[in-house]
């Protein structure tokens, strides 16, 4: 596992950001069964004059998630307190909520050290300092205003529709577990820098939409068109993730987790059972199983695979396994080098000397020196890396 020493150090500075996903995603609409051809054995009408056989939920959890993310971002900015640590803050009239300089954080947000304090994913702390909670908290943090805005708009666009159809319990569990799955895969492949963002959980919602379409196949009109459209949207979003500085492993992990969870949480009764239940003709017909055999098979297979995957992944993580060392091509899933960009971020080397709460630092690349004021006498590695990046930029 590649790690940077604390001081004096070769400090590799990198923040992996999980951007928005699925802005143009629409959940395939269930079949309006009242307009099915007359060849259908039963006309599907809900009892008591209801228009739909499935309950429509009021969405409150997804908007609550959005509020929580916004509040946590505000708290992160308060903890960051840019004027206390920098003389070139952006929008200084905001006081302690002002942003770090654009050359340090172009997304209009806090510093890496502030994100680290709030619970960003840093593999070294997860493995060696027993801070496994970072696998959860990192999905609720964002690197900047643009990052937060993009992810929250995507969450509202995708999540509200799903919560209305399947309820807050199932969608809430799908979102949180998918976020954990994205963080876990990211930690297994990206061992340096820190990672924040909700896009792993957002990809989980996309994966759940795909598996829900597959397992509830009999309830959908224009099945093939809906399937091709959804797959196209997912593939496009995953391809965008191969750009540098984007944590595509979190996207892939979240998508796979959500895809398996969709077979578990988002199962609907088959069309013939609904027809029998909600029609007068159906009440005298031969009883029909509520779910099909393949739905049960997919549920059991997905549950077993998900549990085994999480257990194996956690064991590998806490044993310090770097999966990139065992898979020579896997790094291309997160970044593909081209003539326009390089996937290997430039490493900055700085010499540091600390006197109490002051750190004298010299960048070896450009020879610049500066003295940084420390909030305490024991600065974190992320904070030292950030100072080095500022000095060498």
Domain count within the chain: 2
pLDDT at residue 180 is higher than 50: yes
| pLDDT band at 340; cut points 50, 70, 90 | low
Q: What is the dihedral of CA 66, 67, 69, 71, to 10 degrees?
A: 170
Based on the domain organization, do 298 and 375 belong to the same domain?
A: no
Tokens encoding 352: 């540091």
Q: Is residue 8 part of a domain?
A: no
Please report the sign of the dihedral spanned by the C-alpha atoms of residue 137, residue 318, residue 383, residue 18: negative
CB neighbourhood size of 227 (10 A): 16
Do 354 and 228 share a domain, yes or no? no
How does residue 186 score in pLDDT terms, banded at 50, 70 and 90? Answer: very high
Question: What integer pLDDT is reported at residue 223 of this predicted model?
Answer: 79
Residues in the chain: 393
Is 5 a residue whose pLDDT tops 60? no
389: pLDDT strictly greater than 80: no
- The pLDDT confidence band at residue 9, using thresholds 50, 70 and 90, is very low
Residue 7's Cβ-count burial label (10 Å; 0-12, 13-18, 19+) is: middle
Confirm whether 43 is domain-assigned. Answer: no
9 lies in a domain? Answer: no
Residue 27 has pLDDT above 60, yes or no: no
Q: State the pLDDT at residue 342.
A: 63
Per residue in 263-308, pLDDT (tens digit) is 999 998 876 666 656 565 545 455 566 778 888 999 999 999 999 9
State how far the alpha carbon of 239 is from the alpha carbons of 108, 236, 249, 332, in Å.
Answer: 25, 5, 12, 11
Query: Does 34 fall in a domain?
Result: no
Residues 255 and 385 both lie in one domain: no
pLDDT digits (tens, 9 = 90+) for 209-220: 999 999 888 777
List the domain range (segments joined by +) for residue 183. Answer: 60-271+289-334
Q: How far apart are alpha carbons 140 and 152 in whole angstroms?
A: 11
- Grade residue 8 by pLDDT with cuts at 50, 70 and 90: very low
The residue ranking higher by pLDDT, 131 or 386, is: 131
* Residues 105 and 153 reside in one and the same domain: yes
101 located within any domain: yes
- Give residue 194's pLDDT band: very low, low, confident or very high (50, 70, 90): confident
Same domain, 257 and 388: no
Please give the pLDDT value at position 247: 83
- According to the model, what pLDDT value does residue 320 have? 85
Residue 17 in tokens: 């950001």
**Same domain assignment for residues 325 and 356:** no
Residue 11 lies inside a defined structural domain of this protein: no
Regarding whether 360 and 259 lie in a shared domain, the answer is: no
**Alpha helix segments (H runs only) across 266-355:** 271-277, 293-318
Q: With left for phi above 0 and alpha for psi between -120 and 50, is residue 91 left, alpha or beta?
A: left
Which are the catalytic amino acids?
Answer: 199, 251
pLDDT in tens, 107-127: 889 988 889 999 999 888 898
Residue 16 belongs to a domain: no
pLDDT band with cut points at 50, 70 and 90 for residue 16 = low
Q: Where are the alpha helices (DSSP H) in 40-94?
A: 61-80, 82-85
The answer on 384 and 310 residing in a single domain is: no
Please state, in angstroms and rounded to a whole number, the distance separating the CA atoms of residues 345 and 244: 9
Same domain for 121 and 222, yes or no, is: yes
Q: Are residues 257 and 378 in the same domain?
A: no
pLDDT digits (tens, 9 = 90+) for 359-382: 788 877 667 788 777 766 777 666
User: Which pLDDT belongs to residue 275?
Assistant: 63
Same domain, 319 and 367: no
pLDDT at 338: 72
Classify residue 10: in a domain, yes or no.
no
- Residue 105: pLDDT over 80: yes
pLDDT of residue 348: 62
Mean pLDDT of the chain: 79
2-6, 223-227, 377-381: which range is least confident on average?
Answer: 2-6
Q: How many CA atoms does the CB half-sphere of 79 hold within 13 Å? A: 17
The CATH number for 215's domain is 1.20.1540.10
Q: Do 379 and 330 share a structural domain?
A: no
Whose tokens are 């340096």? That residue is: 192
In this predicted model, what pLDDT tens digit does every residue of 113-171 receive, in sequence order? Answer: 889 999 999 888 898 888 999 999 999 999 999 999 999 999 999 999 999 999 999 99
């Amino acid at each position: 596992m590649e790690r940077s020493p604390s001081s004096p150090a070769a400090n590799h500075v990198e923040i992996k950001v999980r951007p928005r996903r699925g802005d143009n995603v629409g959940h395939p609409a269930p079949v309006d069964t009242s307009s099915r051809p007359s060849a259908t054995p039963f006309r599907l009408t809900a009892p008591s004059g209801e228009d739909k056989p499935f309950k429509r939920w009021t969405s409150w959890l997804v908007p609550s998630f959005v509020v929580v993310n916004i509040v946590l971002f505000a708290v992160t900015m308060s903890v960051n307190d840019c004027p206390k640590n920098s003389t070139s803050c952006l929008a200084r009239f905001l006081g302690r909520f002002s942003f770090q300089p654009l050359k340090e954080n172009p997304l209009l947000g806090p510093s890496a050290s502030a994100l680290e304090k709030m619970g960003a994913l840093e593999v070294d702390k997860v493995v060696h300092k027993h801070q496994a909670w970072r696998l959860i908290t990192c999905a609720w943090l964002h690197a900047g205003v643009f990052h937060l805005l993009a992810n929250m708009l995507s969450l509202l666009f995708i999540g509200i529709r799903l919560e209305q159809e399947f309820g807050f319990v199932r969608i809430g569990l799908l979102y949180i577990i998918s976020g954990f799955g994205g963080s876990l895969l990211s930690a297994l492949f990206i061992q340096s820098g820190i990672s924040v963002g909700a896009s792993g959980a957002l990809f989980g919602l996309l994966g759940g939409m795909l598996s829900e379409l597959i397992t509830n196949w009999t309830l959908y009109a224009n099945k093939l068109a809906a399937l091709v459209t959804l797959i196209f949207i997912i593939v496009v979003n995953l391809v965008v993730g191969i750009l540098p500085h984007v944590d595509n492993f979190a996207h892939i992990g979240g998508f796979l987790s959500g895809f398996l969870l969709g077979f578990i949480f988002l199962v609907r009764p088959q069309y013939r059972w609904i027809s029998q239940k909600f029609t007068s003709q159906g009440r005298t017909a031969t009883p029909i199983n509520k779910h099909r055999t393949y739905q049960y098979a997919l549920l059991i297979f997905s549950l077993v695979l998900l549990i085994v995957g999480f257990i194996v992944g956690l064991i590998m993580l806490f044993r310090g396994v770097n999966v990139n060392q065992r898979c020579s091509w896997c790094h291309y899933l997160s970044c593909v080098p081209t003539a326009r960009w390089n996937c290997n971020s430039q490493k900055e080397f700085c010499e540091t000397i600390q006197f109490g709460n002051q750190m004298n630092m010299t960048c070896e690349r450009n020879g610049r020196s500066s003295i940084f004021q420390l909030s305490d006498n024991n600065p974190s590695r992320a904070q030292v890396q950030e100072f080095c990046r500022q000095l060498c930029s």
